[in-house]
Chains A and B, each alone.
Chain A
């Protein structure tokens, strides 16, 4: 990159020289080239121009007199340029702010400052060393002339040496002063030219030292000084990055801890500087950057913004003039996940036990269309990443068959006109796990696979559905593994008012559609109203159940409930029944 820059400057100066040679034809200096805000002009030290010399940019105005039709020309100074550095024939100048963008190649330039004299110390010294030989010293004549000449030369040398020894260890300005006194007292000394060169060099050295001291104590650092330091540090660090800042920030931080951000400023910057940090809502918050020390800015990202898996930030300088990172491409600090264990959260656990007796034909124990179902359900709400998990154990035991056969059997024995028996008893003992997902705050999806032992009894003489389960007499008993599934969707607040719609089925046991409405007319009275469509306990005719379940939450952690239901497979095949529940909340 530096090579490219060097080549670029070389080409620029060469081009400038070519333009200068062309411009030499004109008497006034002109703008030769504009490079990175600096203007090259064909005047230099030979013209009395050096650093800090002021130049004027001149623009010629040509107008036609509307009356006489004569062409009038005049020149106006548009602004000033300050020479930054100068060579012998070309100088480099910085235009004033009001000239920004208005300087063009070929513009005429006028020297506004007083012309100065610049001397190449080396060329001067060479020239004067030649003059030493030509010093017109008085030449003794007559007898002993050679001896007198030799004695004078020795005396001049000793005198010069004596003064030189007094200058040792003295500041340049004092050394120059002593040499001046020497020249005053010995104007014809053969060393005068050399001493004058030495005086000029010493005075230049003193000026440089004075400027250095002034710069060191100046309230403002010199612009190029900061950048030069930064470039040296970049090389030292083998750091090819560019930009106005270096950042000292951790790459990874713990969740919920403030982060100190420190920036080293690589160059003088104009305008306000802000650190922007993305908040939990996605918007960037502005954090103040405080100047610190020699060249630093510091800020602290507050703990509440150190969330999630990353902190995104950028620094803006001035009015969108860049800085470090950007709104579109922010810098990132990784945030370790929070591993601190919160205390146990209340109201995450529910244990529900229930027993429900369902009588479809109103004949209770003498009927052929009844079942009972008992369940113990354990729920824990993790909230994330799954809302809740349930496991449970249940038992469904009942008797069922075609409702027309049951209703029309003459002897109420579930036989048709041919005397064939059509009912059967089932006993299904099952377990399940259920996962509840909450894709949206008011929507939950519950998925429950079930498995268990299914016992079917087709013996027409046995009244108890549990005969096959308990008895040694296994005639007409069938045993198999029964699989089922239940899915539900809940709309609304889990602990408030909500509507659940569900579908469940178990092979050879039946299907259940349910729509249930939960609400609490009073805080201590949770109520559930449900309508079910089902062919339980055996796959046969569908019927409808209307269920109401009312609880009493007298204490915060346990409440009983009572269930009443009316169910019918048709208007003549109906019955009332009910159930009990006991629920625990922690």
Chain B
């Protein structure tokens, strides 16, 4: 509510001559000069009192509410404003029917990173400063939210590229004490769109797993082939500036029929910087996988990582102790192309063997 009857009465009282009163406001003795703030001396002038505006919501107009004493002395009173470093524009103070004065900075000026204003009056002799100045205006902050700022950082880091396509190929040969083949190869092609908000990214892709593994624990075990073809849908949520949670759904077919899968991971730290991540995924017929990975960026621009992976891929029957450690390197060749390589060592039944992986990713 802009005005009240009291306001109207009060302002009318201020404006009315006091001829018929025994005491009028001007009879009060002048105060001793002890205040740090005093109205400038000089010719008759207006006095503008308002509560300075310091922040605003983007896209919403800002209304400056003031009471003005002696407005008659200055034909024009304006709030002079600008958006960012733009040109100054005037919002004229207008008086409401009840006596208050209002100037509105329009919504189109209230945009990040912020606006600024000062208040001046105009007389025949020129402008009279009432609050702040062009040199030191009152800033109206439009603080971006935390999510906004994180999004800006993401865009700056990737130069605005929000899409990426990646191809990863990883495998490991566990070996077997009886000379049987126990290995898998997993390839995934993935398209990721970065939202860069709390919902950080969504992705979709296709995957394929090929594997051979003994069908039992023993010297006479036969090798079985494990196959899977699946589609994957992924979501990454930024729960905190340094905590990312991944969810993953996979649907497809295996050599045994319909294949369902899912997984998740949590990354403590930023995925493009030093971090620790833990996760697991499960594919119906092909077995679960869990990992812990430590990544560091101290050899920039190379990203390095070390992982401990425990897996039953590819549908291991011989033992549930498939375990390997993996060391990987990632390198951004140029702003749009990244490559990575990995080497792994580990075993499931018998002496350890090597594995590894390669990957390529393009951002656009």
Which A residues are closer than 8 A to B by beta carbons?
A: 45, 50-52, 82, 84-87, 118, 121-122, 201, 204-205, 208-209, 211-226, 228-233, 235-239, 246-254, 260, 262-265, 268-273, 289, 291-298, 336-337, 339-341, 343-349, 376, 378, 380, 382, 389-391, 393, 429, 431, 433, 452-453, 466, 469-472, 479, 481, 586
Please tell me if the beta carbons of A344 and B297 are within 8 angstroms of each other in the complex.
yes
Contact across chains for B146 and A336 when beta carbons are under 8 A apart? yes
Q: Does the CB pair A293–B119 fall under 8 Å?
A: yes
Bound complex: CA of A273 vs CA of B22, how far in Å? 37
Asked, given contacts A269-B35, A293-B130, whether A391 binds B10 with beta carbons under 8 Å apart, the answer is: no
Most buried by B among A50, A229, A239: A229
A210 CB to closest chain B CB, in angstroms? 9
Main secondary structure of the interface of A (DSSP, over half): mixed
**Cβ contact within 8 Å between A469 and B299:** no
Known contacts: A50-B22, A232-B7, A294-B130. The answer to whether A269 contacts B350 by CB under 8 A is: no
B124 within 8 A of A: no
B150 touches A586 (CB 8 A): no
Chain B residues near A466 (CB, 8 Å)?
Answer: 351
Selected contact of A294 from candidates B49, B150, B241, CB within 8 Å: B49
5 nearest A-B pairs in the assembled complex, by CB-CB distance: A248-B52, A85-B23, A586-B298, A270-B34, A293-B131
Residues in B whose Cβ lies below 8 Å from that of A233: 49-51, 65-67
Evaluate whether A252 and B54 lie within 8 angstroms (CB atoms) in the complex, with A233-B65, A294-B39, A339-B150 already known: no
Q: Is the CB–CB distance between A260 and B54 below 8 Å?
A: yes
**Segment 305-346 of B: residues with Cβ below 8 Å from A:** 306-308, 319, 321, 323, 325, 327, 345
Give Cα A285–Cα B323 distance, bound, in whole angstroms.
58
Q: Are B65 and A237 in contact (CB under 8 A)?
A: yes
- 27 A-B residue contacts at CB 8 Å? A82-B29, A84-B23, A86-B22, A86-B23, A201-B19, A216-B73, A218-B30, A219-B39, A220-B31, A222-B25, A228-B10, A233-B65, A251-B55, A260-B139, A262-B138, A264-B50, A292-B132, A294-B39, A296-B52, A298-B132, A336-B146, A339-B149, A344-B274, A349-B299, A378-B294, A470-B177, A586-B296
B14 within 8 A of A: yes
Q: Could you say which residues of chain A place their CB within 8 Å of the CB of B327?
A: 378
B45: min CB distance to chain A, Å: 7
Say if the beta carbon of B17 comes within 8 Å of chain A.
Answer: yes
Q: Which residues of A contact B150 (CB under 8 A)?
A: 339
Also in contact, A393 and B325, with CB within 8 A (given A232-B67, A249-B54, A471-B177): yes
Q: How far is the CA of A435 from the CA of B24 in the complex (A)?
A: 77
Contact B325 A236 (CB under 8 A): no
Q: Are B273 and A344 in contact (CB under 8 A)?
A: yes
User: In the complex, what distance in Å separates the CA atom of A229 from the CA atom of B241?
Assistant: 47
Q: Which residues of A contact B295 (CB under 8 A)?
A: 380
Cβ–Cβ contact A260 & B26, under 8 A: no
Residues of B within 8 A of A235 (CB): 4, 6-7, 10
| Inter-subunit contact A429/B67 (CB<8 Å) | no
- The CA-CA distance from A434 to B267 in the complex, in Å, is 16
Instruction: Flag whether B126 is at the interface (Cβ < 8 A).
Output: no
Closest Cβ of chain A to B68, distance in Å, is 9
In the complex, what's the smallest C-beta–C-beta distance from A68 to chain B, in angstroms? 47
A265 to B153, CA, bound (A): 40
Q: Which of B26, B40, B323 contacts A208 (CB 8 A)?
A: B26
Q: Report the Cα distance A87→B23, complex, angstroms.
A: 9
Are B31 and A223 within 8 A (Cβ)? yes
Please give me the residue from chain A that is nearest to B347 by CB atom. A429
User: What CA separation (Å) do A249 and B351 show in the bound complex?
Assistant: 68
* Chain B interface residues toward A at CB < 8 A: 1-4, 6-7, 10-11, 14, 17-20, 22-45, 47-55, 65-67, 69-70, 73, 99-100, 119, 129-132, 136, 138-139, 141, 143-144, 146, 149-150, 153, 157, 177-178, 219, 241, 269-270, 273-274, 276, 292-300, 304, 306-308, 319, 321, 323, 325, 327, 345, 347, 350-352
In angstroms, Cα B275 to Cα A380, docked, is 9
A170 CB to closest chain B CB (Å) equals 16
Does B308 contact A391, Cβ atoms closer than 8 Å?
Answer: yes
Cβ contacts under 8 Å, A292 to chain B: 131-132, 136
Known: A235-B7, A270-B34; 12 extra A-B contacts, CB below 8 A, are A85-B23, A201-B19, A225-B47, A232-B99, A233-B50, A235-B10, A262-B54, A272-B36, A294-B47, A296-B132, A341-B273, A348-B298
Contact of A211 (CB < 8 Å), options: B26, B34, B67, B297: B26
Inter-chain contact A87/B22, CB cutoff 8 Å: yes
Rounded to whole Å, the gap between the CB of B155 and the closest CB of chain A is 13
Q: Which of B32, B143, B295, B300 has the most CB of A within 10 A?
A: B143
CB distance from A9 to the nearest CB of B (A): 14
Contact A232 B10 (CB under 8 A): yes
The answer to whether A236 and B299 have CB atoms under 8 Å apart is no
- Identity of the chain B residue whose Cβ is nearest the Cβ of A297 in the assembled complex: B37
Count chain A CB atoms within 10 A of each CB in B11, B274, B319, B352 and give the residue with the most.
B274
A346 to B296 alpha-carbon distance, docked (Å): 11
Contact B38 A221 (CB under 8 A): yes
Question: From B326, which residue of chain A is reached at the shortest CB distance?
Answer: A393
Contact of A248 with B51 in the complex, beta carbons under 8 Å: yes
Across the interface, do A337 and B146 meet the contact criterion of CB distance under 8 Å? yes
Alpha-carbon distance A479/B7, docked complex (angstroms): 90
Residues of B within 8 A of A470 (CB): 177, 350-351
CB distance B241 to A339 under 8 Å?
yes
Residue B299 contacts which of A238, A336, A586 (CB distance < 8 angstroms)?
A586
Q: Is the CB of A236 within 8 A of B67?
A: yes
A340 interface neighbour in B42, B153, B293, Cβ under 8 Å: B153
When distances are taken between beta carbons in the complex, the residues of chain B under 8 Å from A228 are 10, 14, 25
* Alpha-carbon distance between A298 and B141 when the two chains are bound, in angstroms: 16
Give the distance in Å from the alpha carbon of A246 to the alpha carbon of B53 in the complex: 11
B24: A residues at CB distance < 8 A: 208, 211
Q: Is the CB of A217 within 8 A of B52?
A: no
B37 touches A291 (CB 8 A): yes
By a CB distance below 8 angstroms, the chain B residues around A205 are: 17, 19
**Which residue of chain B is the closest to A217 with respect to CB atoms?**
B44
Q: Which of chain A's residues have a CB closer than 8 A to the CB of B19?
A: 121, 201, 204-205, 208
Is B47 in contact with A229, judged by CB distance below 8 angstroms? Answer: yes
Q: Given A233-B67, A297-B36, A337-B146, A391 and B292 touching (CB < 8 A)? A: yes
B146 contact set on A, CB distance < 8 A: 336-337, 339
In this complex, what residue of A is CB-closest to B5?
A235
Determine whether the beta carbon of A295 is less than 8 Å from that of B153: no
Min CB–CB distance A228 → chain B (angstroms): 7
Q: Are B49 and A295 in contact (CB under 8 A)?
A: yes
Q: Is the CB of B143 within 8 A of A268?
A: no
Distance A84 CA – B29 CA, assembled complex (angstroms): 9
Chain A contacts of B294 at CB under 8 A?
A: 378, 380, 389-391
Q: In the complex the two chains form, what is the Cα distance from A400 to B306 in whole Å?
A: 33
Query: Which residues of chain A are within 8 angstroms of B219 by Cβ–Cβ distance?
Result: 472
A-chain residues with CB within 8 Å of residue B347 when the two chains form the complex:
429, 453, 469
Chain B residues with CB under 8 A of A225: 25, 47, 69
A208 touches B22 (CB 8 A): no
Contacting pair B177 A382 (CB below 8 A): no
Q: Are A336 and B65 in contact (CB under 8 A)?
A: no
Minimum distance in angstroms from B268 CB to a CB of chain A = 8
A230 to chain B, nearest CB (A): 6
B177 to chain A, nearest CB (A): 6
Residues A349 and B296 in contact, CB atoms below 8 Å apart:
yes
Q: Which residues of A contact B241 (CB under 8 A)?
A: 337, 339
Q: A216-B70, A262-B52, A291-B36 are in contact. Are A433 and B130 (CB under 8 A)?
A: no
> Which residue on B lies nearest to A471, using beta carbons?
B177
In the assembled complex, which residues on chain A have CB atoms less than 8 Å from the CB atom of B143? 250, 252-254, 336
Q: Which A residue's beta carbon lies closest to that of B52?
A: A248
Chain A hits for B28, CB < 8 A: 84, 222-224
Q: Is the CB of B27 within 8 A of A211?
A: yes
Give chain A residues whose Cβ lies under 8 Å from the Cβ of B153.
339-341
Indicate if the CB atoms of B296 and A269 lie closer than 8 Å. no
- Tell me how far the C-beta of B352 lies from the nearest C-beta in chain A, rounded to whole angstroms: 7
> Closest Cβ of chain A: how far from B245's Cβ, in Å?
18
Complex Cα spacing A249 to B292, Å:
46
